[in-house]
């Protein structure tokens, strides 16, 4: 450490005046809560809550700015437990900190049905839980997203006279989170973007689940983070002063994100297992009576919190409330001085979004004779939406040139233009999707991001968590079929669309022409309760003029609709999505009377329609049905039933021009005609 840094730290230490005696009691009682809770439900992880108890005491008893009476206070410090398996750490400290929802009954109900204390933290369930974590690495990347969001908020809403956003994002992770690639992607992004409002505390306890960490890692993590462009500090993770000083030093050191390596003893408090992988689970629980004694906890009194600890946190809450009250004054003055900014911020925070119809009203119609790719149509549609929704941001994993989702006329998000709305995520799809989740968790900005559809697999764990956590993010994924052409099977999605459709609460929309693309974007950018994935074509598609524009646009909002009515008595139903809709139309023409075309761009939206609507579109009496999609067939059998059939692709693609590949694999109007004729 350099002499000026040492001087700064010693000055800070004098200023801090930590009540270490009270913090130690609280830490030991938090250990007791974790031991009792894990013992009570015979599951869960003990090691982290015990090993990080001093870190928890410093965070919740000293360093973090929060207000338990207003868990969503805009300028609170965000705390993310990336090592979500240590959920009892979070629940214990939220309880001690005074979050009303986290009563002692809830701590006792750890992992019980309908509790606010689920096995791993779920942001949409529990106050004070900023992100849903458990899949290791996600929390680190989410925290990067929150830090991005807060930088954007500061750049967009702070003014010369009023600073309303000046908080920090603090994330606690173990070895596991840092071994996962997603955290590496996001950490590199954070360093590149100088996110100095981000503090990552690394619980470096030399242990993972199966074994000592050195069985699977030998890297120099400090050097790795220094190389990402982070400011690195080392502390004893059981030393209150050292932890507090490092956090304070991080807050005061500008220009880089902060990496604090805290050396800890996993399972500290249970000597029989501490420092080993056995400290993780229930194994340690059999020693807890002796351990509780060793920690000075009263015998037989489980879930014990002393008067001293309650009093300490009551006093601390008063200090925090005073900080919050002072901020409210600044906020009120800012609101009065900048009503327009205040209204915009309020829109973001409240999640006010226009209806799909309101969005459709601002999207110009496409020329009736145009033949364009839906990715290009998407680009055109995004512009008026982004103009109407100034809190929308749009990123790409180094593929703007192909995904075409750059917002024209606004800047890139960079260290010197944090009000930029185009995010250059680099070739980091997993990091991108997890950062988008972080932006969404923060709840001010509306995140969209793009890559090739086939690389959705690289982002899938974060897409799944967005769906689970009800995050309204939008994926603009292009090059959606073997129509990609010459790039060949590595780049030609075959199973991807159907693989995504099985994720609950994810809307997968595959529009069939430019006007359906308008409907798809209107649906995605008006959705509040979950993510939407737009699967767009690389290749140009004809505009389906024979269907009225409004029918195509509004039809998407229902997920499936009658695109072409039959003449005469209905005998046959053709279903299609995306680029294959044109083939269903052409086949219907060839087949003649009695044939209906149903466009089905979004199965999830269709499934949510009323029984009457679904029966109108797909009358159950009509069982002569053929679906066509350039992909695996499975999902369509729900609609064609046992009597119908599907024209699809049950193999990987091939490297050749897109039209050739489609024909070769039978994705043609003739293929549909033949399939209909082959039916009984």
- Catalytic machinery residues: 429
Least distance between ligand TPP and beta carbon 51 (Å): 7
Output 207 or 627, the one with its CB closest to ligand TPP. 207
660-667 long-range Cβ contacts below 8 angstroms, 24+ apart = 660/485, 661/482, 661/483, 661/485, 661/492, 662/482, 662/483, 662/630, 665/482, 665/630, 667/482, 667/580, 667/583, 667/628, 667/630
Is residue 547 a contact partner of residue 531, using CB atoms and an 8 Å limit? no
Least distance between ligand TPP and beta carbon 288 (Å): 17
Is residue 568 a contact partner of residue 561, using CB atoms and an 8 Å limit? no
Secondary element (H or E) of residue 81: strand 78-81
Taking CB positions, which residue lies at the least distance from ligand TPP? 174
**Rounded Cα distance, 30 and 26, in Å:** 6
125-129 long-range Cβ contacts below 8 angstroms, 24+ apart = 126/91, 126/94, 126/101, 126/102, 127/71, 127/94, 127/99, 127/100, 127/101, 127/102, 128/66, 128/68, 128/71, 128/79, 128/90, 128/94, 128/97, 128/99, 128/101, 128/102, 129/81, 129/90, 129/94
Is residue 594 a contact partner of residue 569, using CB atoms and an 8 Å limit? yes
Least distance between ligand TPP and beta carbon 489 (Å): 28
Output 437 or 526, the one with its CB closest to ligand TPP. 437
Task: List phi, psi (to 5°) of 377.
Answer: -60, -40
Bridge-based pairing of strands 561-564 and 595-599 is antiparallel
Output 211 or 314, the one with its CB closest to ligand TPP. 211
Burial 393-428 (b: 16+ CB within 10 A, else e): bbbbbbbbeebbbbbeebeebeeeebebbbbbbbeb
Output 58 or 640, the one with its CB closest to ligand TPP. 58
The count of other CB atoms within 10 Å of the CB of residue 18 is: 18
* Contacts with ligand TPP, residue ranges (CB under 6 A): 47-48, 83, 85-86, 134-136, 174-177, 180, 203, 205, 207-209, 266
Is residue 395 a contact partner of residue 436, using CB atoms and an 8 Å limit? yes
Q: Is 17 exposed, middle or buried (0-12, 13-18, 19+ CB in 10 A)?
A: exposed
């Amino acid at each position: 450490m350099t002499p000026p840094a040492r001087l700064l730290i010693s000055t800070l230490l004098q200023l801090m005046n930590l009540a270490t005696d009270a913090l130690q009691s609280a830490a030991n009682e938090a250990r007791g809560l974790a031991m009792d809770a894990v013992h009570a439900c015979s599951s869960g992880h003990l090691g982290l809550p015990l090993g990080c108890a001093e870190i928890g005491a410093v965070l919740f008893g000293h360093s973090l700015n929060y207000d338990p009476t207003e868990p969503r206070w805009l300028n609170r410090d965000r705390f993310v437990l990336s090592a979500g398996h240590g959920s009892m750490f979070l629940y214990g400290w939220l309880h001690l900190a005074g979050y009303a929802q986290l009563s002692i009954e809830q701590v006792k109900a750890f992992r019980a049905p309908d509790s606010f204390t689920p096995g791993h933290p779920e942001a949409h369930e529990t106050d004070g839980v900023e992100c849903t974590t458990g899949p290791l690495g996600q929390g680190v990347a989410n925290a990067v997203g929150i830090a991005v969001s807060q930088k954007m908020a500061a750049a967009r809403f702070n003014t010369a006279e009023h600073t309303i956003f000046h908080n920090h994002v603090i994330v606690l992770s173990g070895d596991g989170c840092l071994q996962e690639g997603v955290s590496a992607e996001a950490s590199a992004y954070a360093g590149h973007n100088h996110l100095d409002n981000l503090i990552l505390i690394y619980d470096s306890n030399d242990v993972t689940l199966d074994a000592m960490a050195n069985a699977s890692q030998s890297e120099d993590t400090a050097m790795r983070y220094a190389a990402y462009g982070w400011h690195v500090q080392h502390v004893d993770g059981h030393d209150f002063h050292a932890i507090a000083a490092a956090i304070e030093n991080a807050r005061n050191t500008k220009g880089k994100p902060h990496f604090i390596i805290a050396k800890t003893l996993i399972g500290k408090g249970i000597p029989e297992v501490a420092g080993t992988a056995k400290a993780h689970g229930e194994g340690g629980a059999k020693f807890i009576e002796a351990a509780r004694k060793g920690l000075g906890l009263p015998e037989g009194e489980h879930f014990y919190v002393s008067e001293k600890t309650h009093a300490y946190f009551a006093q601390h809450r008063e200090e925090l409330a005073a900080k919050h009250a002072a901020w409210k004054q600044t906020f009120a003055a800012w609101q009065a001085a900048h009503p327009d900014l205040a209204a915009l911020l309020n829109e973001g925070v409240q999640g006010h979004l226009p209806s799909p119809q309101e969005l459709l009203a601002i999207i110009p119609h496409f020329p009736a004779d145009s033949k364009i790719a839906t990715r290009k149509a998407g680009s055109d549609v995004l512009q008026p939406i982004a103009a109407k929704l100034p809190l929308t941001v749009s990123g790409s994993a180094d593929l703007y040139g192909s995904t075409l989702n750059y917002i024209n006329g606004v800047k890139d998000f960079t260290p010197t233009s944090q009000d930029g709305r185009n995010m250059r995520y680099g070739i980091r799809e997993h990091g991108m999707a997890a950062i988008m989740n972080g932006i969404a968790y923060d709840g001010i900005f509306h995140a969209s991001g793009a890559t090739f559809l086939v690389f959705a697999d690289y982002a899938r764990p974060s897409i799944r968590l967005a769906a689970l956590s009800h995050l309204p993010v939008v994926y603009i994924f292009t090059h959606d079929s073997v129509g990609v052409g010459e790039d060949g099977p590595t780049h030609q999605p075959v199973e991807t669309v159907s693989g995504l459709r099985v994720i609950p609460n994810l809307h997968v929309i595959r529009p069939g022409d430019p006007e359906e693309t308008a409907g798809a974007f209107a649906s995605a950018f008006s959705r509040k309760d979950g993510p939407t994935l737009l699967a767009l074509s690389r290749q140009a598609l004809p505009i389906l003029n024979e269907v009225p524009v409004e029918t195509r646009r509004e039809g998407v909002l229902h997920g499936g609709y009658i695109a072409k009515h039959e003449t005469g008595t209905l005998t046959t139903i053709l279903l299609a999505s995306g680029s294959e809709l044109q083939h269903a139309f052409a086949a219907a023409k060839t087949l003649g009377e009695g044939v209906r075309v149903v466009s089905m761009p979004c199965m999830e939206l269709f499934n949510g329609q009323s029984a009457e609507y679904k029966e109108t579109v797909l009358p159950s009496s009509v069982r002569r049905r053929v679906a066509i999609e350039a992909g695996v067939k499975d999902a369509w059998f729900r609609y064609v039933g046992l009597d119908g059939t599907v024209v699809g692709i049950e193999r990987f693609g091939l490297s050749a021009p897109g039209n050739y590949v489609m024909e070769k694999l039978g994705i043609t109007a003739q293929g549909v005609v033949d399939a209909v004729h082959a039916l009984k």
